[in-house]
Amino acid sequence: MIRVVVVDDHPVFRLGMVALLDSLDGIEVVAQAASAQEAHEAVGESVDVVLMDLHLGDDSGVEVTRDLVRRLPLLRVLVITMREDDESVVASVRAGASGYLLKGASPDEVERGVRAVANGEMILGPKVAARAMATLTAGRTAVRLPFPELSDREREVLDLVARGFDNTQISRRLVLSPKTVRNHVSNVLTKLALPDRAAAIIRARDEGLGRD
């Protein structure tokens, strides 16, 4: 029996997904959640798969995924979202998601996705798989890594700051909460001993960030 938790802040979609999964042999929905807090409360060691939306009100499904997988390394997360952009796919995979489907997926595709990730496989929808793999591969082939004292996420935020994005735009692009973005910007300024955002932009561009 595959024990599943459905996390989505849209009740109609969530209830429909619960009904679908409960109708399938060998799959049992043990809980559902509409927020990050509810997800953390609902997901424990007995859960095999979490179906995760990326937008949970003010919370980010990517961050919830990262926290859950860190706490429960054997847990499998299958993202189901409306977003098919490269940034959302890559952010989800880097956070530890084992699969990524669009909400337009058919019932058969959802069933295959749940069973596949429960079996330890990686599942990406056909529209996003090739682009996601290309982006991940490109990220690994950088010749020189600027600001090695920064984490990958902090460097990613700094790059977007250098491109002129504000915190709200960065949060949408990286599928993070605005509070998390503010924290990353603050950490960058502290680690690089910079007084403000303007100085960070200048320093980042000097190191090659903020360019297309």
Q: Assign residue 182 a region (left: φ > 0; alpha: ψ between -120 and 50; beta: otherwise).
A: alpha
- Dihedral of CA 43/44/45/47: which sign? negative
Structure token digits, residue 74: 């054997």
Give the pLDDT mean for 75-88. Answer: 86
- pLDDT per residue as tens digits for the range 63-77: 999 999 999 999 999
User: What is the distance between the alpha carbons of residues 89 and 106, in angstroms, rounded to a whole number?
Assistant: 19
pLDDT at 212: 61
Q: Is the pLDDT of residue 166 over 90?
A: yes
* Rounded to 5°, angle at Cα 32 from 28 and 36: 140
Residue 56: its pLDDT value, please? 86
Is the pLDDT reported for residue 195 higher than 80? yes
Q: What phi, psi does 28 have (nearest 5°)?
A: -130, 125
Label the pairing between strands 76-81 and 59-60.
unpaired
> Which of 87-96, 116-125, 143-152, 186-195 bottoms out in mean pLDDT, i.e. has the lowest?
143-152
* pLDDT at site 141: 47
Q: How far apart are CA 128 and CA 90, in angstroms?
A: 10
pLDDT at 134: 62
Task: Kindly state the average pLDDT of the residues 163-170.
Answer: 93
The residue ranges of every structural domain in the chain are 2-138, 152-206
**Do 43 and 5 meet the contact criterion of CB atoms below 8 Å apart?**
yes
Residue bearing the bigger pLDDT, 97 or 208: 97
The residue among 3, 90, 11 whose CA lies nearest residue 43 is 3
Render pLDDT for 137-148 as a digit per residue (tens, 0 to 9).
Answer: 665 544 456 887
Which amino acid appears at position 166 of this protein? Answer: D
Q: 152-206 adopts what CATH topology?
A: Arc Repressor Mutant, subunit A (1.10.10)
Q: What pLDDT, on a 0 to 100 scale, did the predictor assign at position 131? A: 58
Res. 186 pLDDT band, cuts 50 70 90: very high
* Residue 21: per-residue pLDDT: 96
**How many angstroms separate the CA atoms of 163 and 161, rounded?**
5
70: which 2 tokens? 């860190």
Alpha-carbon distance of 189 to 123, in angstroms, equals 37
* Second-level CATH architecture of 2-138: 3-Layer(aba) Sandwich (3.40)
- Report d(CA 92, CA 152) in Å as an integer: 14
The reported pLDDT for the residue numbered 55 is 85
pLDDT per residue as tens digits for the range 16-62: 999 999 999 999 999 999 999 999 999 999 999 999 999 887 788 99
Mean pLDDT value of segment 85-113: 87
Contact between 11 and 37 (Cβ < 8 Å): no
User: Which carries the bigger pLDDT value, residue 78 or residue 141?
Assistant: 78
DSSP three-state, residue 106: coil
Write the pLDDT tens digit of every residue in 106-129: 899 999 999 999 999 988 876 666
Q: DSSP letter for 77, please.
A: E
DSSP 82-147: S---HHHHHHHHHHT-SEEEETT--HHHHHHHHHHHHTT--EE-HHHHHHHHHHHHHHH--S--S-
Q: Regarding predicted confidence, which is higher, 156 or 86?
A: 156
What is the per-residue pLDDT for 90?
A: 78
The rounded distance, in Å, linking the Cα atoms of 123 and 192 is 38
